[in-house]
Amino acid sequence: MSSTPTNTQADDAREPGQDPMLNINALGTDGGISNAPHDPTSSPQPAQSADPSASDAGAARRRYRRVWGSQSRSPWRAPQLDRSFIPVFLRNFLVWRKLAIPSLVGNIAEPLIWLVAFGYGMGALVGSITIDGTAVPYLLFLASGSICMSAMNAASFEALYSAFSRMHVQKTWDGIMNAPISLDNVVLAEMLWAAFKALFTSTAIMGVMLALKISTSTHLFLAWPVLLLTGITFSCLALVFNALAKGYDFFTYYFTLFLTPMMFLSGVFFPLTQLPPWIAAIAEALPLANAVALVRPLFMDQWPTQWWLHVGVLLAYAVGAFWLALALTRKRFGM
């Protein structure tokens, strides 16, 4: 998980009749906010509370409501997005850049262990698997599924633990919203950042697979857009639980009851045809199963069948989950 320094917010100082956004400067690379000096002729400021971070967060949210809208507006309203999400995305990138190597090692170690243990160990016992009349080495079968699983895990961890730290623990989101950046754009930036982490991790794993010559398909690099869409889908789903969480322990339910069963029921380790028909029908509707159905043929130098259906399922999950995550986050912030 990436770690960011705790932000502090200055008092909301402005001249009488001046737009409140005019005194707010650009967002720094460390997530801090720099405001204009306090005007001694303005009205006295309220007394500070016993908890400075709670007082700063409350002041930031009051300023946000004055600028962006009333608390009475429906949280289910359409997203209000603009280009102001870009500085938030870049801020996360600048912080992560300091820990890029340890983050990369941590993200690719587990999937490579799965690949070596099951691909080479169990692959020696299984040999090959027949898919649509084509014999596929089990190592290739597992590699094409595990890279989708890695994209799912990388996006989920970033949009859960790291995003929750920035939102709840460090109050980074409150500091960002002192600047002319709406909550909608903060959530969008977190979603895109988690998707970028998923694509970065998948690319590193793909490089290892190419080095090991697990697949030499000419269609292999067409998997990048699919892996990016997979990262977007699972980051949106994770942000729903991020909006509901009261603490880190809450994420255990998401991993235990949702991600782990999906990992075993989406065709990563064995074909869906091995499942009972009614379970296979449910599994085919899972987002990870649709991602695997798109990526695996590309590893086999083939074109996916009914690719439009699988892309549509992933897009439906992404759009629906993002809207739900945004509405729940608005309710959490009282916006």
The pLDDT value given to residue 86: 97
Q: What are phi and psi of 267, to 5 degrees?
A: 80, 20
> Are β-strands 128-131 and 134-137 bridged in parallel, bridged antiparallel, or unpaired?
antiparallel
Residue 225 lies in a domain: yes
The pLDDT value given to residue 66: 52
Per-residue pLDDT tens digits of the chain, which is 335 residues long: 444 444 333 334 333 344 433 343 444 444 444 444 444 444 444 444 455 555 666 665 666 555 555 444 799 999 999 999 999 999 999 999 988 888 888 777 887 888 888 888 888 788 888 888 888 999 999 999 999 999 999 999 999 999 999 999 999 999 999 999 999 999 999 999 999 999 999 999 998 888 888 988 989 999 999 999 999 999 999 999 999 999 999 999 999 999 999 999 999 999 999 999 999 999 999 999 999 999 999 999 999 999 999 999 999 999 999 999 999 999 999 98
The pLDDT value given to residue 52: 57
Residue 68 lies in a domain: yes
Residue 315 lies in a domain: yes
Using CA atoms, how far apart are residues 282 and 265, in angstroms rounded to an integer? Answer: 9
SS3 assignment, position 149: helix
Residue 14 lies in a domain: no
Q: What is the dihedral of CA 37, 41, 46, 47, to 10 degrees?
A: 80
Q: Which two tokens stand for residue 17?
A: 């009749």
The pLDDT value given to residue 105: 82
Are the beta carbons of 299 and 220 closer than 8 angstroms? yes
Cβ within 8 Å of residue 83, ≥6 positions away: none
Residue 1 lies in a domain: no
Residue 239 lies in a domain: yes
Amino acid, res. 1: M
Amino acid, res. 276: P
The pLDDT value given to residue 149: 94
Residue 9 lies in a domain: no
The pLDDT value given to residue 21: 39
- Burial class (CB within 10 angstroms; exposed 0-12, middle 13-18, buried 19+) of 218: exposed
Residue 290 lies in a domain: yes
Considering its fold, how many domains does the chain have in total? Answer: 1
The pLDDT value given to residue 329: 97
Cβ within 8 Å of residue 220, ≥6 positions away: 206, 210, 298, 299
The pLDDT value given to residue 115: 83
In terms of residue numbers, what domain contains 116? 20-333
